[in-house]
Amino acid sequence: MRDWEKQIPESEARFYKKAGFMGAMAPGRRAALLVVDATLGFCGDPGLTLDEAIAQFPTACGPASWIAMPRIARLISLFRAQNLPIVYSLADLPAAGWAGNATKSGAVSRNRGFNDFPGVISPRAQDWVLAKSKASAFFQTPLPSYLTKEAVDTLVFCGVSTSGCVRASVVDGFSHGYKTFVVDECCFDRSQYAHAANLFDMQAKYAAVISLDECAPMFAGARMAAAE
C-alpha cells in the first residue's frame, strides 16, 4: 500500500471499489508529460521549513517540494530518453492583474524568482513553457492545439499542487478525451491530507494514479510513431 493510500479510510475505499470506481487505465499511442507549476514560487528555497517557505512565497509547499524534486527529474529524464513531448506550466503573472487569480486566495507573489524552475528540472530548448492564468493548464490556453499537433492521446502529470493545479489540469485533460495518468511521488502539496484525498479522488474518477517505478515499463515503449 502506498503512503497516500494509508490515509484513506478502508471502509470508504472498499465502497468505491464495490461501486466500480478505482479502475485501471491503459496508455494510448503517444504520451506527453505535463510538469505543472513546479517553480520556486510553489516550492520555496531548498532547506526551508514550511513556515519559512511560506514567508518567502505564500504559495510555497516547503519540504514536500524538495522530496519530490529528484523524482520529477527522473520522470523528465524518462520522457527525454523517449523523445516524447514535455510541457512545463507556470503562472502568467502579468495576466493575473487582468484575469484575476487562479484561486480565491491572495495574488501570487511577485518576489524575484517566483517563476524560476529548480535547476534539476530546468526546461530545455525543445520543451514548451506554457504560461497560464488559472488553475488548469487547459483553461484558455493553446495546449489542446499543441497536443493535437504532436499526435498526443495520453497525458502524464506531475507537479504542484496535487489538490489545485494538478487536479484541475487532470480533470480538464480527461474531459478533453485524453488518457490521463498521475505519478503520485512526483506530485506534492502543502497539505498531506489534501495530497492523499485528491490522489484518491482522481484515481476513482479521472485518472490512473501510478508510481514512478510503473512509468518506465509503461511509457518506455510509449514513444510510438513521431508526430508527422
Handedness of CA 123, 127, 128, 132 (dihedral sign): negative
d(CA 154, CA 163) in angstroms, rounded, equals 21
d(CA 82, CA 205) in angstroms, rounded, equals 29
Kindly calculate the radius of gyration of the chain based on its CA atoms and give it in whole angstroms.
Answer: 17
Q: Among 71, 74, 72, 52, which Cα is nearest to 62's?
A: 52
Buried b or exposed e, range 26-48, using 16+ CB within 10 angstroms: ebeebbbbbbbbbbbbbbbbeeb
Q: Which three cell numbers stand for residue 29?
A: 499511442
165 assigned to active site: yes
Q: Which of 165, 186, 187, 215 is catalytic?
A: 165
Catalytic residue numbers, as ranges: 165
